[in-house]
Amino acid sequence: MTKPDDTMPDDIEIFDRALRRQRRDRAFAGYADHAFLRDHIVEALLERLDMVTREFTDALDLGCADGSLTRALRARGMTVTPADAGRRFADAAGGVQCDEDRLPFASGSFDLVVSAGVLDQVNDLPGALALARRVLRPDGLFLAGFVGGGSLPRLRAALIAADMAAGGAVAGRIHPQVDLRGAADLLTRAGFALPVADGEPLAVRYADPLRLMADLRGMAATSLMPGRGAAPLTRTRLAAAIAHFTGAAAADGRVTERFEIVYLTGWAPAPSQPRPAARGSATRSLAAELAPRPPEN
């Protein structure tokens, strides 16, 4: 996540790194039961990769989780280095434990960097993107997908309503998320060439908000904001949140929750890449091109 203010001291972080590692380790054993969102992102990234005509040999899988993307890339003949903030995920994949904004790899180590479902939990997202570009060789490809701004509107509204009904301050129970425009700007700031950011809405239907919360815990996607006196989610508040959530149910008793997936594509700069023409280099003016032409004899 980006810093909300460029004047914020560097030692203040939005997300609790230790808590993130702990929750990813806790999610390890039952991850497959809740991995539908990451599975969807992985499939989308592989589809994008398959549309690229060039071949890749050395890939970095940032946020490898259960290793599904690592295995898919290896099946395509690549040498893959898995990395994850969680020790158990990293060890199971035979990879490296590290945070995405603290990469231990040398410049130019890879010609492909992929990341599925984790960049929304990074303290220094601009720094993470800059590092991803640094570890790429010239003309290397960066592909990422993560949950973006506007996600979980039903659950967010239900939790806010429960806090307000209790008469207390609204707690940050769902962490801040990066929207599509912000992600596109960060990709450009990180120095990627030919940057592209696009979004995909994904609807998931739930009869019970507790199942949604269980899925978020199971995929290690609950809030990582450090506790700053926020009121606990008591049984009374939880009951109020459930009532508010189920109040939006359709005739079949299910509520449609939405995830906004942000996809990023960028290339490490290289001399061979197409570039826009230099300003003022045109040999004819637009006015001349649009001027009426004399009739032909």
| CATH code: domain of residue 36 | 3.40.50.150
Is 279 domain-assigned?
no
CB neighbours (10 Å) of residue 173? 21
- Those residues of the chain that have pLDDT short of 50 are 1-9, 229
Secondary structure of residue 188 in the 3-state scheme: helix
Distances from the Cα of 51 to the Cα of 33, 45, 111, 242, angstroms? 30, 10, 16, 43
Is 291 domain-assigned?
no
**Sequence-ordered list of residues with C-beta below 8 angstroms from that of 257, at least 6 positions apart, any chain:** 152, 153, 154, 155, 203, 204, 205, 206, 212
Q: Which domain holds residue 141?
A: 17-270
Number of Cα atoms under 13 Å in the Cβ half of residue 67: 15
How do 255-267 and 193-206 pair as beta strands? Answer: antiparallel
Rounded CA-CA distance 110/157 in Å is 42
Cα dihedral 209, 211, 213, 216 in deg (nearest 10) = -140
Is 196 domain-assigned?
yes
Is 10 domain-assigned?
no
Is 206 domain-assigned?
yes
Rounded CA-CA distance 121/124 in Å is 9
| Token pair of 96 as six digits | 């490296």
Rounded CA-CA distance 152/255 in Å is 11
Q: Which amino acid is at 48?
A: R
**Sequence-ordered list of residues with C-beta below 8 angstroms from that of 54, at least 6 positions apart, any chain:** none
**Which contacts (CB < 8 Å, 24+ apart) does range 54-59 have?**
56/111, 56/112, 56/140, 56/141, 57/111, 58/109, 58/110, 58/111, 58/112, 59/110, 59/111, 59/112, 59/113, 59/114
Phi/psi at 62 (5° precision): -85, 120
CB 117 within 8 A of CB 63: yes
CB 138 within 8 A of CB 268: yes
Biggest CA–CA distance in the chain, Å, is 87
Count up the domains in the chain and report the number: 1
Secondary structure of residue 137 in the 3-state scheme: strand
**What's the pLDDT score for residue 170?**
59
Report the predicted TM-score, pTM, of the whole model to 2 decimal places. Answer: 0.85
Q: Which amino acid is at 195?
A: P
Is 289 domain-assigned?
no
Is 190 domain-assigned?
yes
Is 7 domain-assigned?
no
Rounded CA-CA distance 51/49 in Å is 5
